[in-house]
Amino acid sequence: QVQLVESGGGLVQPGGSLRLSCAASGSIFSISNMAWYRQAPGKQRELVAVITSGGLTNYAESVKGRFTISRDNAKKSVYLQMTSLKPEDTAVYYCMLRWLGETWGQGTQVTVSS
């Protein structure tokens, strides 16, 4: 059974940067598509970025040019580099693995505030 553990969240000032990490257990990471979602208070969960097993990426319009998703199959990890952070990026960020279903991490809080 796959488990995902996110890390790297925290409090950052507007304009700052953070790097989120998501470590997976199990043996299917390299053949799985991975994604980052986020959920702000009172809002629905939304897709932030996707990376396929082959390394293709796609981003929400709101984060294009500021966020970068990447993966390291040897480390069974996916990353989200976030730059030029804005208060509206404040949310709980979730890692998701898709392979014959979906597996979610527990989430990590990102707060952008001065």
52-82 pLDDT, tens digit each: 999 999 999 999 999 999 999 999 999 999 9
C-alpha distances out from residue 74 to 27, 78, 101, Å: 11, 11, 22
C-alpha distances out from residue 111 to 2, 16, 56, 82, 107, Å: 28, 11, 28, 12, 13
Residue pair 81/16 in contact by the 8 Å Cβ criterion? no
Instruction: Give the chain's mean pLDDT.
Output: 96
12-43 pLDDT, tens digit each: 999 999 999 999 998 899 999 999 999 999 99
